[in-house]
Amino acid sequence: MSQRPLSIFISHPSNVLTDSWPHGDGLIAHAILRRLADRGHTLHVAVPLSALEKPMPGNVHLYPIEARVPHTRDGQNFAYRMEYAVRVRRLFSQLRQKTEIDLIHQLNPVVGGLSMFLYGLGYPVLLGPLWPLLEKSEGNGKGARSWSAKIKDRLLSNQFARADGILSPTPASAARLPGSARVIPFHLGIDTEQFSPDPSARPDKPTILFLANMQTRKGIFVLLSAFERVLEALPTAELLLAGDGEQLNEVRSRIEKSSRPAQIRLLGRVSRPDVAATMRACSLYCLPSFGEPYGMSALEAMACGKPLVVTNEGGLGYLVPDQGCLKVPSRDASALGQALIRILKDDGLQERMGSFNRDHVTRYHRWDRVVEHLEDIYAQLMQQSSQGDVQLVKNRQELAL
């Protein structure tokens, strides 16, 4: 570490801070906090909800925020956000009387209001990593937006404008920001030892893995339709479906109607320790999402040396390099089937794509590199804040990472 250990106030790590739940934001937040702590930084973390199987290091201090308004896992309750913001400001005021604080960092989701009372206190405020999802629309079904939705928009715009920096993993996330926002390109990390290739786990038949919630927006039903086309070309192919969700029964019904239901296996929810092994047991990973904000499961598959088939939507269009995948339009079962068949029929293509993906991940997404970059951002924010002139990366072309 090239700088002194910092004391960082995490105003919001995620709607759920977890090391075990299938909650992407919470898992990423936990990974970032854990590695910052391992590098000697002290973290004061306001926690809306936590689900931790292992204790955090001693230099990570968790402060549960107990609000009267019910908390929801998606964090969309506007009244809750306002109460949370007030209680977080109160916590911050108490902490800074007892200990030194260097800067404030709100992780994902970057939604309006959560840190609204922490600006103008003389501390740099960093937001993100920011996903490219917009606030949920609230209206009367005819295009009009409710007063609460308009307030959310105003709060979000104000938050972006006043932040000293906004971490952006992809150009898709930067696209939602106003031109005046201080955008900082930022890769997310992955444990390249936990997620690593294992040639001995290669399946003996063409095998597709889908690992996500069983929801329409994840493209599960498009994939089931595409797999019928795959079976026509590759009769021994298998489809592994890992995960659960609100439409699991509908997925089961579709499987029963398949031409070869025995070749579609429902694995259920996969525990975090077993995700890497599940990734290794496929020929390719497929995530035909209608607009994935980032796509951590895609990054995990890349780290395991697998080729991918994804949609060219949202974060996936930028996260997965063209050399390591085939990209198709969303909702297009025919194009998806053709892409799956092309890779499954070509062992050499699988090997080349998988090797490229593994090299890309180890070069750009190793946690040690990611956290070093974050430390550099912290140092720059603090230096420029002390000079009264925070000016970070604003050239959006630099986001083509």
pLDDT digits (tens, 9 = 90+) for 319-375: 999 999 999 999 999 999 999 999 999 999 999 999 999 999 999 999 999 999 999
**Is the pLDDT confidence value at 390 over 80?**
no
Does 84 map to a domain? yes
Print the domain residue range for 254: 199-364
**Is the pLDDT confidence value at 165 over 60?**
yes
When divided into structural domains, the chain yields a total of 2
**Pairing mode of beta strands 207-211, 183-185:** unpaired
185 & 247 share domain: no
185 & 165 share domain: yes
Does 194 map to a domain? no
Distance CA 222, CA 76 (A): 28
273 & 354 share domain: yes
Q: Which two tokens stand for residue 40?
A: 């000697």
The single-letter DSSP state of residue 116 is G
**Is the pLDDT confidence value at 178 over 80?**
no
Does 2 map to a domain? no
89 & 222 share domain: no
Q: Which two tokens stand for residue 255?
A: 């499987």
Does 1 map to a domain? no
Average pLDDT, the chain: 89
225 & 343 share domain: yes
Domain with residue 225: its CATH number is 3.40.50.2000
Residue with more model confidence, 391 or 309:
309
Q: What is the pTM of this model?
A: 0.84
227 & 151 share domain: no
Phi, psi of 9 (to 5 degrees): -95, 115
Residue with more model confidence, 176 or 40:
40
211 & 168 share domain: no
345 & 395 share domain: no
291 & 316 share domain: yes
Q: Tokens 């079904």 correspond to what residue?
A: 141
